Amino acid sequence: MNKREKKIMGLTIGSHSLVHLFEGVLPPLIPLLITEFSTDYFHMGLVVTVFSYAFGLGSLPAGILADKFGPRRLVSIYLFGAGLSAILVWPVNTLWSYGIIMGVIGMCCSTYHPASNTLISLSMANKGHAFGIHGIAGSLGVAGVPVLSAFIGSIFGWRAPHVLYGLIGIFLGVYSLSVAEHRAPSIGGSDGQSNTAGLDRKTFLTIIIFFLSATALGMSYKGIMTFLPIYMGTRVNLGVMNLNTVTLGGTIATLALTSGAVGQYLAGRLVDRHSAERLYLGAVVIGMICVFVMSFSTNVLLVVSAVIYAFFYFSTQPIQNYLISRYLPEHRHGLGYGIHFFLSFGVGSTAAAISGYIADQVGLEAVFIFMGLCFFMSACMVVLLVLRKKGVTPISLPT
């Protein structure tokens, strides 16, 4: 890795961890927020959905802008915008104003994934390895935020984690300005118009199937991550840990999710050398089994199944990023990553509110049954990807 690549990886590693701190700051604080705002699981799920819809819906235009203006600029916009917005949580005293600010933070964060993945795909020689390292940073953010937010929130109040993450965002934003911009070469004919190849129908349908699988996995991710800390806090009693429900749930969720970083790294290394579609299928099927086990287990079995779930779920992310870089030409990577995150984080975020309603009406166990069914739907789509692998060639979408 040369100096230029190291600087890019430094920026994306820090920014990726942070984006998942912003995304995951709320779930560990749910017991405190329910008391603060005199509300319920459903309304907490709605706030998560507001953030996630903004997080996902903004990804589509962000991907297009990354192709047009360069991805590094969009990373900087995310860092400054989300950082400043998170600090504004401090004076908030109503659920509605909190929900609005979380939506603004989500919109700022929406520029990150399409931009960073485009930046990596355009500038790194070993893409799979780079996506794996990038994914580890995200997994550590996902794993660390339950215990970090729960610990800080329990001691200093629920607003403190937001402000801390905001200050980190501004610091990284200043650093991002020192990283050079990277853009794909434009594709055009002699008349200056886009030189777009005729669409290969098989490849186009394969991409549609891929996006359907990603949407189902996005639903499972949002539903599980919203309620995993409180689910752990109420169903795990290890005896040796004398902590309140908030801190206990956040701590155990963090321990379980840490395995996701290992999954990210190994998948990133393997995908450069083995069939990405087959790796994808294996990870989704094993993750599905673990989620169904989580729906009825307690204590050690619940923790073990959550650890294995996290390992295989997060291993799907570098595989998905690799597949997009393989299916689409370079000058459409931003659009491809934008559509991916629009579907997985935007449309998939519907699961947060739905899961909150299910938890209120039936119980938290039913949430994990529903999430297991989302995994099953994704697995069916990935089976089709494996069957259709032969003959897939990159396509160029119309401008």
Query: What are the pLDDT digits (tens) for 265-304?
Result: 888 888 878 888 999 999 999 999 999 999 999 888 998 9
Query: What are the pLDDT digits (tens) for 27-83?
Result: 889 889 998 998 888 888 888 888 888 887 888 888 888 888 888 999 999 999 999
At residue 397 the predicted structure's pLDDT band, cuts being 50, 70 and 90, is very low
pTM for this model (two decimals): 0.72
Q: Which residues pair with 188 in a beta bridge?
A: 194
pLDDT at 227 over 90: no
Produce one character per residue of 341-373: b if its CB has 16 or more CB atoms within 10 Å, e if not.
bbbbbbbbbbbbbbbbebbeeeebeebbebbbb
More confident residue, 371 or 396: 371
Place of tokens 């629009």: 342
Work out the end-to-end distance of the chain between its first and last CA atoms, rounded to an integer number of angstroms: 33
Could you tell me the domains of the chain? 3-178+199-388 (1.20.1250.20)
The residue-averaged pLDDT of 156-170 equals 95
Query: What are the pLDDT digits (tens) for 228-243?
Result: 888 888 888 766 556 6
pLDDT at 194 over 60: no
pLDDT for res 399? 43
Nearest to 44 by CA among 31, 56, 57, 54: 31
At residue 84 the predicted structure's pLDDT band, cuts being 50, 70 and 90, is very high
pLDDT at 345 over 80: no
Residue 246, phi then psi, degrees to nearest 5: -65, -55
Average per-residue pLDDT in the chain?
84
At residue 343 the predicted structure's pLDDT band, cuts being 50, 70 and 90, is confident
More confident residue, 329 or 278: 278
What percent of the chain lies above the pLDDT cut of 70? 90
pLDDT at 187 over 70: no
The residue-averaged pLDDT of 102-129 equals 86
At residue 22 the predicted structure's pLDDT band, cuts being 50, 70 and 90, is very high
pLDDT for res 184? 58
Q: How far apart are CA 239 and CA 26, in angstroms?
A: 27
**Six token digits for residue 133:** 């390292």
The residue-averaged pLDDT of 179-208 equals 60
Q: How far apart are CA 339 and CA 324, in angstroms?
A: 10
pLDDT for res 193? 40
Q: What is the 3-state secondary structure (H, E, C) of 339-388?
A: HHHHHHHHHHHHHHHHHHHHHHHCCHHHHHHHHHHHHHHHHHHHHHHHHH
pLDDT at 85 over 90: yes
pLDDT at 248 over 80: no
Distances (CA, A) of 318 to 105, 133, 155, 243: 25, 9, 36, 35
At residue 200 the predicted structure's pLDDT band, cuts being 50, 70 and 90, is low
